[in-house]
Chain A
Amino acid sequence: MTFELNYRSGKPVYLQMVDQVKSALASGALKEGDSLPAIRPLAEELRVNRNTVAKAYGELEREGIIETLAGKGCFICRPKSPLRRQVRVEMLTREIDESVVAAHHLQIPRDAFLDLSRDRFDAFEKRRVASDNKAAAS
Chain B
Amino acid sequence: MNPPVIDISNLHYTYDGQEAVCGLNLQVAPGRCHALLGRNGAGKTTTMKCLLHLLRPQAGTVRLFGLDPAKDEVAVRSRLSYVPDAPSFYPWMSVRETLEYLASFRARWNLSRQSELLDRFSLDPGMKVTSLSKGQRTQLALIGALAPEPDLLILDEPTSGLDPIVRREFIQTVIGAFQEGDASRRTIFVSTHLIGEFEGLIDEFTLLDQGKAILSLDADKARERYRRIRARFPGSVDAVDVPGGLQTRRHGREVEVIANGDGERIIERLRAQSPESLEVEGLTLEEVFMVTANRLPKEKR
| Residues on A facing B (Cβ under 8 Å) | 5, 7-13, 40-41, 43-52, 54, 105-106
A residues less than 8 Å from B238 (CB atoms):
none
Contact A47 B172 (CB under 8 A): yes
| B199: interface (CB < 8 Å) | yes
| Residues on B facing A (Cβ under 8 Å) | 31, 33, 168, 171-172, 175-176, 179-180, 183-184, 197, 199-203, 220, 223-224, 227, 267, 271, 278, 280-285
A residues less than 8 Å from B202 (CB atoms):
49
A117 to B203, CA, bound (A): 36
When the two chains form the complex, which single residue of B33, B223, B280 contacts A49, counting CB atoms closer than 8 Å? B33
A12 to B280, CA, bound (A): 16
B residues less than 8 Å from A11 (CB atoms):
224, 282
Contact A44 B223 (CB under 8 A): no
Task: Take A12-B220, A13-B220 as given contacts and tell me if A7 and B199 are in contact as well, using a CB distance cutoff of 8 Å.
Answer: yes
A residues less than 8 Å from B282 (CB atoms):
7-11
When the two chains form the complex, which single residue of B197, B220, B284 contacts A47, counting CB atoms closer than 8 Å? B197
Min CB distance A109 to B, Å, is 15
A residues less than 8 Å from B220 (CB atoms):
12-13
Closest chain A residue to B196 by CB distance?
A7
A8 to B223, CA, bound (A): 7
Contact A48 B284 (CB under 8 A): no
Some 6 contacts from A to B, beta carbons below 8 A apart, are A5-B200, A8-B282, A10-B280, A40-B176, A41-B176, A47-B200
Contact B285 A44 (CB under 8 A): no
Task: Take A8-B284, A50-B183 as given contacts and tell me if A43 and B176 are in contact as well, using a CB distance cutoff of 8 Å.
Answer: yes
A13 to B180, CA, bound (A): 20
When the two chains form the complex, which single residue of B183, B197, B199, B278 contacts A54, counting CB atoms closer than 8 Å? B183
Contact A7 B183 (CB under 8 A): no
Most buried by B among A11, A47, A48, A105: A47
Contact A7 B175 (CB under 8 A): no
When the two chains form the complex, which single residue of B200, B227, B271 contacts A10, counting CB atoms closer than 8 Å? B227
A50 to B220, CA, bound (A): 15
When the two chains form the complex, which single residue of B171, B175, B224, B281 contacts A50, counting CB atoms closer than 8 Å? B175
Contact A43 B227 (CB under 8 A): no
Contact B175 A49 (CB under 8 A): yes
A105 to B280, CA, bound (A): 11
Min CB distance B246 to A, Å, is 15
Contact A13 B175 (CB under 8 A): no
